[in-house]
Structure 1
Amino acid sequence: MLGRAGQPQYDTYGEGIIITNHSNLQYYLSLMNQQLPIESQFISKLADNLNAEIVFGTVRNRDEAVQWLGYTYLYPDSQKHADVIHSAVALLEKCHHIKYERSSGQFQSSELGRIASHYYVTHNSMATYKQHLWLIMSTLELFRVFALSNKFKLLPVSIPQNSCQINLQEYLKVRQEEKLELAKLLERVPTSVKESVDEPTAKINVLLQAYISQLKLEGFALVADTVFVQQSAGHILHAMFEICLKRGWAMPAWACLALCKMVERRMWGSMTPLCQFKGVSQEVIQKAEGSKQFPAWYRYFDLDPPELGELIGIPNAGRLVHNFPKLQLQVQVQPITRFLLRIDLSIVPDFRWDEKIHGGAETFFIIIEDIDGEIILFHDTFIVLCQRYTEDEHNVTITVPIFEPVPPDYYISVVSDQWLHAETRLSTSFSQKSFHLRRPSSSCNLCLSPRYTTRNMRRSYLNTIQTFNKIQTQVFQALYSSDKNVFVGAPTGSSKTICAKFALLKSWNKRDNSRADCVEPYQEIVDQRVTE
């Protein structure tokens, strides 16, 4: 970039400023004066950038990936290494970010790949989370997994393609002058750290806890490292939360969400929720946390604003407490089949809206857990938009599975994504419900070889297909040779549209001027079907 200082083709002079260590000064001068070759560093981040393009949809196959690589400065080198794209894609496939069909070169993004792209997490870090996150985890273990993140490495290193492991010695190093202060912080943070003060993961763990605890740091280098850890904590913990949600692990998901809010609010979950409001004095907070005259937090909402103001010691604090996000829930359950349950959830906001406090919207997570509180059966996002809708009733219909033996109840929680202790939880009892319904009939998979298309099919409508996939082969006979009603349930990307074309071909082969209705979600797809 220094070589292009000024505007090329217009300026004959330009200035550039490099801020670096004195030991590196001669290296940068040699790059400018001796015109040493400058190698592109994009290759070290190729896999992560390619994953982002695949998730966004701009790169769908191997040929498009090669074309996309041509837009970068790495392209001249890539001509010497023709398999650079294949190596990057194989690495993403090994880390479970994408599905790679080698014969056709097609890519398909996975949930892990989408999470990595949305939260700017490297594939090495995602591999670490995938390895260390588990169904039952404590807060202590979550802090340690966070400290293992690849982002906290001091310098970028090359990772072998056949490995997603991380070397702990490559992390943010512990300086000799920091050890004394880190040892003092180890004794002050609330969550114990297993590692010694000499280990980099212990330093990252302690700095994050010190930031949440609002501890004062003395060393300038530690302050700078704390800023880096704090800025990275938000998206890393959210990525860990999303991973636990997708896997259906309730306990680590709740813990990750709580840690996200603790980092954002700089307070621990054991502290009074009054700490989340601005203007509440430290004296009032200490009284609320240590005095017996203060009731439990859920009892605050039973008091009138004047009573709350008198109790807390701030005249206007009563109105402030009623700004705390709180929801009223009502639920009705109805069995649909022997293994399927419908839940009708009614949500009514029960708090005063203040744009200075809540902004334009408040986001909540709807989470349904099993009776043991270990497995997440359903999760979704619920958003309350501005003051206009705070007094309205919002209805949500949810479908969840029922397993044998039938559990006595499920737990439904609606929790804020920003406010600690802003959670409403209730149980749904199944004791009065009848699940003695007829078991639904389903067809069995037949042992069939992939079916080849006929000449008439290729002429009329399926001219680009030579062989049907497994799902198309299974349903072909029912759709092309029968007039019975057929329901086809298949995952995304399994070419279900081709199955619908079987029924259209059968209808057109009758030559009785029959018609068919085709429903599509977008006008562009309708135009494509008409053209076909």
Structure 2
Amino acid sequence: MDSMLPLQVLVSTSTLAWGVNLPAHLVIIKGTEYFDGKTKRYVDFPLTEILQMMGRAGRPQFDQHGKAVILVHEPKKSFYKKFLYEPFPVESSLKEKLHDHFNAEIVSGTIGNKEDAVHYLTWTYLFRRLMANPAYYGLEGTQDETVCSYLSRLVQNTFDDLEDSGCLKVNENSVEPMMLGTIASQYYLCYMTVSMFGSNIGSDTSLEAFLHILAGASEYDELPVRHNEENYNKTLSDKVRYPVDNNHLDDPHVKANLLFQ
């Protein structure tokens, strides 16, 4: 093919389809599943990723319109039709990550006590969705007393967990960050990770033990282990200094350990 001719057809992996900035008139998504190495099965792409791939079709500066075709199994056809033509409600995921947000705000001085934390929550998308869809978050209604009680319990439980992990100290009328909490905030670490480090790492910790502790951090939960990659990990495990669990070579934390070594 002449190198001066424009590219007419591109067959790509999903990874390339998410990230590359290649405008196209027609995008065809051949299947909506991918192989998950952690669970060893095929799972559906998140809907947001399907939209990301479809978004490559029809860039305004290049084309007046674009087309997207999704090839999917018949049982899922109606679902994708509904997904594409009707809006889905977007709910908040803040509750699952609230500990790390609270810790960062306490370290920065934005939150100094429980009242500040409750006030902080009233400015979040979580609060807006809580009022709009209370049942989704386990509330029976949106009466002031019910909502205030829910927010107070949420703050108290979060503070208790952060205190148990050594990230902050709860006083009678205030909260103050501890060293572990400051480290977690500065380096964007999960509060459970720094708690685990603080409990297991000491001045006499060996390098081998330190590697196992470091690789055990929750930040490596999502380290991708691809199909059949355990075979490569087995080869690596025979070459490194410190042994790993050869029964779990498809585990992301074992892979992290091997890569560190």
Do Structure 1 and Structure 2 share a fold, with TM-score over 0.5? yes
Whichever residue aligns with residue 97 of structure 1, its letter is C
| Aligned counterpart, 2:88 | 36
Tell me which residue corresponds to 2:219. Answer: 151
Deviation at 1:174, TM superposition (A): 4.5
Give 1:426-465 correspondences, 5 Å limit. none
Question: Is 2:150 the partner of 1:99?
Answer: no
Match for 2:248 among 190, 198, 218?
Answer: 198
Matches within 5 A, 1:339-358: none
Q: Is the 8 A contact 1:31 1:37 kept in 2?
A: no
Assess, with a 3 A threshold, how the Cα gap between structure 1 residues 113 and 181 changes in structure 2: closer, same or farther. same
Unaligned runs of 5+ in 2: 1-26, 34-43, 51-75, 132-141
How far did 1:134 drift?
2.6
Larger RCO, structure (CA 8 Å, separation 6 or more)? 2
Question: Counterparts of 1:86 and 1:115 in 2: how far apart (Å)?
Answer: 22
Determine if contact 2:237/2:244 at 8 Å carries over to the other structure: no
Letter matched to residue 182 of structure 1: N
Conservation of the 8 A alpha-carbon contact between 2:114 and 2:155: yes
Residue 183 in structure 1 maps to residue 230 in structure 2: no
Distance change (3 Å), C-alpha of 1:93 and 1:31 = farther
Matched, 1:131 2:199: yes
Q: Distance in 2 between matches of 1:98 and 1:141?
A: 27
1:431-487 per-residue CA deviation (whole Å, 9 max, x = no partner) reads xxxxxxxxxxxxxxxxxxxxxxxxxxxxxxxxxxxxxxxxxxxxxxxxxxxxxxxxx
CA displacement at 1:35 relative to structure 2: 3.0
What's the counterpart of residue 101 of structure 2? Answer: 49
Decide which structure has the larger Cα Rg and report it.
Answer: 1
| CA distance in 2 between partners of 1:86 and 1:21 (Å) | 41
Q: TM-score, normalised by structure 1?
A: 0.30
CA distance in 2, matches of 1:21, 1:31: 13
Residue 128 to residue 29, structure 1, CA distance change in 2 (3 Å): farther
For residues 67-466 of structure 1, the aligned pairs below 5 Å read 67-76=119-128, 77=130, 80=147, 81-82=150-151, 83-101=153-171, 103-104=172-173, 106-154=174-222, 172=223, 174-189=225-240, 191-196=241-246, 198-199=248-249, 200=251, 201-209=253-261
SS at 1:108 equivalent: strand
AA in 1 matched with 2:111: V
Q: In structure 1, what residue type is equivalent to 2:244?
A: K
1:61 to 104, 113, 117: 113
Equivalent pairs counted in the alignment come to 172
Show structure 1 runs of 5+ residues with no match: 1-16, 155-171, 210-532
Structure in which a larger fraction of residues adopt strand: 1
Q: Which residue of 2 aligns with 1:470?
A: none
Q: Report how far residue 193 of structure 1 moved.
A: 2.1
The structural deviation recorded for 1:56 is 0.4
After superposition, the C-alpha distances for 1:368-423 in whole angstroms (9 at most, x for unaligned) are xxxxxxxxxxxxxxxxxxxxxxxxxxxxxxxxxxxxxxxxxxxxxxxxxxxxxxxx
Pick closer, same or farther for the CA change 1:64–1:136 going to 2, 3 Å: same
Q: For residues 127 and 197 of structure 1, what CA distance do their matches in structure 2 show?
A: 27
RMSD of the alignment, in Å? Answer: 2.7
What percent identity do the matched residue pairs reach? 26
Partner secondary structure for residue 238 of structure 2: helix
CA displacement at 1:208 relative to structure 2:
2.2
TM-score by length of 2: 0.58
Cα gap change, 1:28/1:49 in structure 2, threshold over 3 Å: closer, same or farther? Answer: farther
Shift of residue 32 of structure 1? Answer: 5.3
Contact 2:117 2:155 (8 Å CA) reproduced? yes
Q: Relative to structure 1, is the Cα distance of residues 130 and 28 closer, same or farther in structure 2, using a 3 angstrom cutoff?
A: farther
CA distance in 2, matches of 1:197, 1:182: 11
SS in 1 for 2:176: strand
Q: 1:91 to 1:193 in 2, by over 3 A?
A: same
- Amino acid aligned to 1:35: P
- Give yes or no for contact 2:103–2:181 (8 Å, CA) kept in 1: yes
- Cα distance in 1 between the residues matched to 2:236 and 2:186: 33
